Amino acid sequence: MPLAGDLDKLVNAVLSKAKEEAESIIAKAKEEAEKYIKSVVEESRRKAEKEASGLIRKRRSEALSKRRSEVARARTDVTRELLGFKEKLIEGVVEEVKREVQAIVRTKEYEERLVDMIKEAVRVLGGGVVEVKLNKRDRDLGLDLTAIASELSQELGKPVELRLASEPGNFTGGLIAKSLEAGIEVDYTVEGILERKWKRLRSEVAKILFSES
C-alpha cells in the first residue's frame, strides 16, 4: 500500500507539473497575443497618422495653391476691369472733344485756325505746288487759297501754289497737304494730330482727369 500511495503521488506530480506547464504555455501565449495585437494596432495607428498628416498637408497645400491662383486671377480681372473703366472715361473725353470740334468748326475762330494750319503745312513742305485736302464742310467755307499762297510765297521767298484736292476728305476737321513736286504729305487733320499726340496727351489727360486736387 505504501508503494501504491507513492506511485499515485508520483503520477499526480507528473500530471500536475504538466498541467502547470500547459497553463504557463497558454498564459504566455495569451500575453504575447495581447502584446502582438497592441503592437500591430499601434503600428497601424502610427502609419495611418503619418499618412493622414501627409493627406491633410497635401489637401491644404492644393487648396492654398488654388486660392492663390484664383485670387491672382481675380486681381488680374479686377485690374483689367479698372483699366478698362479708366480707358472708357478717357475715351469719353476724346468723344467730347470730337463733339466740341464739331461745334467749333462752325466758328470764325476755327476758320482762322484752319488758315494757320494750312500755312504751317506749306512751311513744313517748303512751298511749291501743294494740294490741300479739306472735308466737305471746310471746302464750303470758301477759303481764299490764292491769297494764302501769295502770303506764304512772300514769307518763304519762293513760289507757292495751293490747289484744292478734287475729292473732299473724310475727317472731322483740319487738312491734309501734299507737295505735288516732292510727293510728301502732312496730315493736320484733327484725327491725325490726335493720333500723333495721343501717346503724350493720354497720360496728361489721365493725370488731369483723375487728379485729386
Q: Please say which residue, 26 or 182, places its beta carbon nearer to another protein.
A: 26
Min separation Cβ 75 and another protein, Å: 6
Q: Which is nearer to another protein, 51 or 166 (CB)?
A: 51
Q: Which residue has the cell 503600428?
A: 43
Strand, coil or helix: 115: helix
Q: Of 109-138, which residues contact another protein (CB under 8 A)?
A: 110, 113, 117, 120-121
Stretch near another protein under the rule CB under 8 A, chosen from 99-107, 127-135, 138-146, 163-171: 99-107
Among 1, 2, 5, 33, binds another protein (CB under 8 A): 33
CB of 182 to another protein, least distance (A): 18
The torsion defined by the Cα of 204, 208, 209 and 213, in degrees rounded to 10, comes to 160
Given candidates 1, 2, 3, 5, which one binds another protein under the rule CB under 8 A?
3
Counts of helices then strands in the chain (DSSP H, E): 5, 4
* Of the residues 18, 147, 180, 182, which one makes contact with another protein according to CB under 8 A: 18
Query: Going along the chain, which residue ranges are E strands?
Result: 128-133, 160-164, 174-179, 185-189
130-156 residues labelled b (16+ CB within 10 A) or e (exposed): bbbbbbeebbeeebebeebbeebbeee
147 touches another protein (CB under 8 A)? no
DSSP 8-class letter at 135: B
Q: Does the footprint of another protein cover residue 106 (CB under 8 A)?
A: no
The C-alpha cell at 62 is 492644393
**CB nearer to another protein: pick between 64 and 182:** 64
Q: Which of residues 35-94 bind another protein (CB under 8 A)?
A: 36-37, 39-41, 43-45, 47-49, 51-53, 55-56, 59-60, 62-64, 66-67, 70-71, 74-75, 78, 81-82, 85-86, 89, 92-94
Q: Return d(Cα 68, Cα 72) in angstroms, integer.
A: 6
- Residues that bind another protein (rule: CB under 8 A) add up to a total of 82
Roughly what angle, to the nearest 10 degrees, separates helices 190-209 and 2-104?
Answer: 130
